[in-house]
Structure 1
Amino acid sequence: MLNKYARAFFTRVLTPFAALLLRLGVSPDAVTLIGTGGVVAGALVFFPQGEFFWGAVTITLFVFSDLIDGNMARQAGTSSRWGAFLDSTLDRVADAAVFGGLALWYAGRGDSILLCAVAIFCLASGQVVSYTKARGESIGLPVRVNGLVERAERLVITLVSAGLAGFEKFGVPHIGVLLPIALWVVAVGSLVTLAQRVVTVRREAAEADAAAGPGPEPGSGTGAEQGSGSA
C-alpha cells in the first residue's frame, strides 16, 4: 500500500533532482550503488552502537536513491533489465544491513538474544517474501498479491521506530521500547505476507496447470526420447 501512494508522491517531488543529476552526468547505476553503500554504512556503523536516531536519519536519506535512480532512467530513456536487476539485488543487500545492524546491537550491548533472533527473523523473512514473488513470476505466474507488509512497510516501521527510540539518548524516557515492538510487528507481518504469497502462488499454479490440461502420461514419450539414456 505504501509502495503505491508514497512512491507516486516522492517520484513527483524528486523528479527535478533526478533531472539535475542527469545534467551533471551522473548515471542511474551510480546512484543505485551510492544509495546502497550509504544505507549499509548507516546501518552497520550506527545501529550496532545504539545510535538509532542518527542511523535512521542516514539510512532514510540514502533510501531515497531507490526512487531517484528509476526516475533518472525513465527520464533518460535508459530503463533496462540490467538496471532493474541491479536495483532489486541491492535492495536485498540494504534490507539485510538494516536488520543485521539491529541484530548486532541486540547481540552485543543491547543484551537481548530474543530480540537479536527477532531481528534475524525479520532479515530472513524479508528476503524470502521478496523471493516468493520473484520466483512465482519467473515460472510465468502473475502473483496477484502484495501482502500485509511489503518492503516499504518494513522499512518505514523499522526506521521510524528506530529514529524515535534514538530520542531516549536525548532524555526522552521509555521511548526505546518502540523499537522492540516494531521488530515484533515486522516479524509477524512478514510471516503473514509470506503465507499470503505462498497461498497465492499455489492457487495460481493449480489454475495454470488445470488450464494447460493433463501432461503426457509416464512412459508415453516418443521412441527417440525413450531411447535416450543421457542424463
Structure 2
Amino acid sequence: MSQTLTTTLGPVRLIGDNATPIWGMTNAERSRRMAESAAKNGSTLAAGHELLFNLAYAFDPLLLRLALETPGTLFVWGNAPIVGQVPQGSDPLTATHVIDLSDGRALYNRQLRKLEQPMVRELDPSTRRAIERQSYFGAYKGVTDLLTKYLWPELALVLTRIAAQLRMTPNMVSVIGVTLCLVATYLFAQGMYWTGFLSGFIFMVLDTVDGKLARCTITSSKWGNVIDHGVDLVHPPFWWHFWGTGLVYWGLALSTQTFALVMAAVIAGYVLQRLIEGMFLKDFGMDIHVWQRFDSQFRLITARRNPNMVILFVSLLFGRPDIGLIALAWWTMISLVVHAVRLAQAYGVKRSGQPIVSWMEQARP
C-alpha cells in the first residue's frame, strides 16, 4: 500500500500507513513537513525522481538530507526501505545507492557537529515514547557547552514534550524566553542576582527547548532562527555589564578604572572570539570547535554564556559577585587567546598543504 503526496519539493511516495502519533502528529504529517522543510532550505529532487518514506519507521532527519544530496540514494534497514530519493514508480530496492544501516555504521552530522549512528526504529505504540526521546537527543549538538550537554537535557525533554502536546510553536517558546532574558538583565542591574539567576536559568533552558521543539516537530522558520540566534548573540555582554553595575547594591562596586578594564576584556574578548569563529568557518568551511578533539573538548568550557554563568554562580555562593565578574573577564581573555592560537595553527596547516578536516569526519568508518 502506498500513496503519493504533491509537495513543494516534488512527488513524495508514502509506503504503508501508521496511526501512531509522534510529537503530536502522524508519521505521514511528519514526512510531509520534512519534505516541505527540505524544499524551503533549497533542496531539490532530480528529474524523474521522487522522495520515498516508509511510514512504519521513524528516522533521523539526517538521512533525508543525505538522500537529497545524491539521486538514487536509498537507506534501508535489512530489506526494509526507510527513506530515499529514487526513480519515480520504481522498486526502491533497485536504487543505485542502497545503504543498509543495520550494520551499525556511524554517519557524520555536519549540522549538529557529531558522529553517531542515526536513529531508525519501527514506530508503534510500544516504541513511541522511546523514539521521541531518541529523536530529541538526536537533535542535540554533539559539540556544545557543559550545561547544555550534561545538566538540563532531561528537564528540556519534559518541557519540549509539554510544548508539543499544547501545540505551542517554537516562536511562542522563544518569546517567553526572550521576556525572561530581559527580566534577568533588569534584575542583575538591581543587584538581585539570585532572582536574576532564576530568570536567566529558565531562559537558558527554554533556549534549548525552542530549538529542540522546532527540530522534533519540523516547524522551524526563518524568523524564528533569526530571533533565536540573534538574542543568543547579543544579550551576553549586556548581562555582564549590568551584573557589574548591580554590584553597588552589595557594597562591592568596582572602581571606575577596574570596571572599565573588566568591561573592555569581557566585551572585546567576546566580540573577537566570535570573529575568530566566523573567520574559521569562512576560510575552512566548518566550525572551529569540530577541527580536532581538543577544540570539541574546549567548547565545553569556553567563555560563552553558560560556562560564564557557572563562574558567576560559584562567586555568589561565596558572597563575592565582584570576584566572579573579574574571574569571568580573565577567563574570556584566556579563551580568546586559545581561539586565536588555534586559528593561527589552522592557517599554518593550510600553508603546509595539508587539508583541514574535522576529526569526526576522519573517524568515520
TM-score (norm 2): 0.48
* 2:270 corresponding residue in structure 1: 126
CA distance in 2, matches of 1:4, 1:82: 28
Q: 1:93 aligns with which of 234, 237, 262?
A: 234
1:72 aligns with 2:203: no
- Counterpart check, 1:113 vs 2:267: no
Shift of the 141–189 alpha-carbon distance from structure 1 to 2, 3 Å rule, reads: farther
Give the aligned residue type for 1:59.
G
1:25 aligns with 2:179: no
Q: Residue 198 of structure 1 corresponds to which residue in structure 2?
A: 340
Conserved? CA contact 1:40–1:97, under 8 Å: no
Change (3 A) 1:87 1:210: farther
CA contact (8 A) 1:73 1:79 kept: yes
Partner of 1:181: 323
Secondary structure at 1:26 match in 2: coil
Q: Structure 2 vs 1, CA of residues 159 and 13 (structure 1 numbering), >3 Å: closer, same or farther?
A: same
Q: How many angstroms apart in 2 are the aligned matches of 1:106 and 1:130? A: 27
Residues 145-188 of structure 1: CA deviation (Å, up to 9, x unaligned): 236533121122124434x3xxxxxxxxxx43x21221222111
Deviation at 1:9, TM superposition (A): 4.5
For structure 2, list consecutive stretches of 5 or more residues without a partner in the other structure: 1-142, 356-365
Structure 1 equivalent of residue 192 of structure 2: 51
Q: Residue type of the partner of 1:113? A: T
Aligned to 1:170: none
Residue identity over aligned pairs, in percent, reads 19
Higher helix proportion: 1
**Distance in 2 of aligned mates of 1:90 and 1:57:** 18
Taking only aligned residues, the RMSD between alpha carbons, in angstroms, comes to 3.0
Equivalent residue letter for 1:24: L
Aligned to 1:169: none
Larger radius of gyration: 2
1:136 aligned residue: 280
**Following TM superposition, by how much is the alpha carbon of 1:194 offset from its aligned partner in structure 2, in angstroms?**
0.7
Question: 1:93, CA displacement in angstroms?
Answer: 2.3
Once structures 1 and 2 are overlaid, which stretch shifts more, 61-70 or 115-124? 115-124
Contact 1:56–1:160 at 8 Å: present in 2 too?
no
TM-score by length of structure 1 reads 0.71
Secondary structure of the corresponding residue to residue 25 of structure 1 = coil
In the alignment, the residues of structure 2 paired with residue 98 and residue 17 of structure 1 have an alpha-carbon distance, to the nearest angstrom, of 25
**CA 1:181–1:107: 2 relative to 1, 3 Å:** closer
Are 1:106 and 1:112, in contact at CA under 8 Å, matched by a contact in 2? Answer: no
Matched, 1:149 2:302: yes
Q: How much does 1:25 deviate? A: 2.7
Give the match for residue 227 of structure 1.
none
**Quick check: 1:42–1:59 contact (8 Å CA) kept in 2?**
yes
Q: How does 1:216-231 map to 2 (within 5 A)?
A: none
C-alpha distance 107-129 of structure 1, shift in aligned 2 (>3 A):
farther
* 1:84-113 deviation per Cα after TM superposition (whole angstroms, max 9, x unaligned): 554332112221221121233357973632
Give a deviation string over 1:50-85, Cα, whole Å, max 9, x none. 222222222122221111112212211245676555
AA aligned opposite 1:131: L
Q: 1:82 to 1:46 in 2, by over 3 A?
A: closer
Change (3 A) 1:80 1:212: farther
Say whether the 8 Å CA contact 1:47–1:105 is kept in structure 2: yes
Structure 2: how far apart are the matches of 1:99 and 1:5?
Answer: 18
Structure 1 unaligned segments of length 5 or more: list them.
Answer: 165-174, 214-231
Q: Call closer, same or farther: CA 1:9–1:81 in 2, change over 3 Å.
A: farther
Distance 2:165 2:215 in 1: 14
Question: Does structure 1 conserve the Cα–Cα contact (< 8 Å) formed by 2:156 and 2:206?
Answer: no
Given that 2:174 and 2:207 are in contact with CA atoms closer than 8 Å, whether structure 1 keeps it comes out as: yes
CA contact (8 A) 1:100 1:120 kept: no
Greater RCO (Cα-Cα under 8 Å, separation 6 or more): 1
Mapped partners of 2:244, 2:213: distance in 1: 34
Separation of aligned partners in 1, 2:204 and 2:343:
29
